[in-house]
Amino acid sequence: MAYELLLPDIGEGLTEAEIVTWLVGIGETVAANQPLVEVETDKALVEIPSPRSGTLLHVGGEAGKTINVGDVLAVIGDEGERWEAEPTVVDVPAVEEPQDAEQHPAVSQDSPGAVVKAMPVIRKLAAELGVDLATVAGSGPGGKITRSDVEDAAAHTAAIEAAPTARTGEYDGETLSAMRRTIARNLTQSWTEIPHVTVWRGVDATGALAAKAETGLLLEAILVMAVLPILAEFPDFNATYDGSRLNRSESAHVGIAVATDAGLMVPVVRDAQAMNLRMLNAEIERLTAAARDRTLGLGELSGSTFTLSNVGAVGGGFGTPIIPYGTTAIVSVGRAEDDVIVKHGAIAIAKVFPVSLSFDHRVVDGAMASRFLLRYAAELERYRLGN
């Protein structure tokens, strides 16, 4: 008996997913737990395995289609088995039922409840030519759709697509990917619900850059290592907030902003406070590579208690970073540039980090944020290997 695989809830608050690639074609056999399809969810590509062995009888959509949790994603059955979605039953005027089963009108799955009069061979032709039968007026007896009707509809669509686009100062639209829609939704929620306040400070980068040059380690590892003792001193910044309760974390789960071709991703370094510098560097390297390869698991993209963004890696400077929803703060470090500073009571030229700290003003006051930033600056400026 055919098994209907419904799109499962495979992420926190997931309501939909976009089909990216079918790894098995209709009519092909598949083994139990064999990867069946790739879908794009909240910032991640996820492979969904087949729930059983058998033959793929039906797919819930082609690549690029977005379906909701609970919708039919795929149907797996036995070889030679037929499966059809149950049509919506509606009252329609009585028509003469043809005796030939090949001429029996079918209900279009594309337009539930609408009767489409077309033989299976015509329906197959329409599928091959990309024609939606629900939009075709049949010219045959009793409104039956003929081969000519389908071919004319396909030719009309092709002519429209081939016609040059008129330029009137407007631009062609583009449907955002599931990931970009998720980013937009999350950032909108953060910006509209969290009262952001940002404080800035220039920080002498000499020690941190020297450590990076001497060890060859990632700057992100050094920046995270320097903030860990500050998070322990100021636990309100290493916390989550749900609008009524502030939950301070004993562990530092630090989100690292990573720019990828598909958009911004923020994998999480868990229990960073338990790592030394080289362990931290190795974990950030692993997560960064997985983010850019789109191989991160959903568990590696959630649960952060604080976030660090090295915008200097892409040439950024001072900015107003947006706080990931549910957390209380984010620090952004820009590209170090030569600047005039006072060092040991004398004017000097040094590389200076532009550092921005955004915080949730519902749970953190400006004075506390200023002290946090001052302590972080001091930790970076006196940074030495072995910290």
DSSP track, 99-125: SSGGG--EE-SSSTT-EE---HHHHHH
Would the pLDDT of 162 be above 70? no
Q: With H, G, I as helix, E, B as strand and everything else as coil, classify residue 214.
A: helix
| CATH number of the domain residue 79 falls in | 2.40.50.100
- Average pLDDT over the chain, rounded to an integer: 85
Say how many domains are in the chain.
3
- The tens digit of pLDDT for each residue in 257-269 reads 999 887 889 999 9
Same domain, 285 and 188: yes
Among the residue ranges 138-152, 190-204, 235-249, the one predicted with the least confidence is 138-152
pLDDT, average across residues 287-301: 89
Quick check: is 196 catalytic?
Answer: no
CA–CA separation, 369 and 197 (whole Å): 9
Q: pTM of the full predicted structure?
A: 0.64
Same domain, 204 and 344: yes
Would the pLDDT of 240 be above 80? yes
* Residue that wins the pLDDT comparison between 191 and 15: 191
What are the strands, taking DSSP E only, across 78-213?
106-107, 115-116, 196-204
Most confident of 17-21, 128-132, 179-183, 377-381: 377-381
Read off the pLDDT band of 41 (50, 70, 90). confident
Hey, what are 187's tokens? 């950032």
Same domain, 118 and 64: no
| CATH number of the domain residue 216 falls in | 3.30.559.10
Same domain, 79 and 92: no
Same domain, 333 and 281: yes
Domain range spanning residue 293? 178-381
Same domain, 77 and 96: no
CA–CA separation, 305 and 351 (whole Å): 30
Same domain, 233 and 287: yes
| CATH number of the domain residue 114 falls in | 4.10.320.10
Q: Are 116 and 90 in contact (CB under 8 A)?
A: no
Read off the pLDDT band of 178 (50, 70, 90). confident
Domain contains 387: no
Same domain, 348 and 252: yes
Hey, what are 330's tokens? 């984010």
| CB neighbours of residue 76 within 10 Å | 24
Domain contains 191: yes
Read off the pLDDT band of 43 (50, 70, 90). low
Domain contains 164: no
Domain contains 172: no
Read off the pLDDT band of 63 (50, 70, 90). confident
Same domain, 93 and 117: yes
Q: What's the number of CA atoms in the CB half-sphere (13 Å) around residue 291?
A: 23
Cα–Cα–Cα angle for 88, 94, 99, nearest 5°? 95
What CA–CA distances, in Å, run from 351 to 283, 377, 383? 27, 13, 14
Same domain, 110 and 41: no
Domain contains 144: yes
β-pairing, 16-22 vs 35-40, is antiparallel
Q: Are 98 and 104 in contact (CB under 8 A)?
A: yes
* Residue that wins the pLDDT comparison between 14 and 198: 198
pLDDT, average across residues 208-212: 94
Residue 184 pLDDT: 85
CA–CA separation, 167 and 150 (whole Å): 31
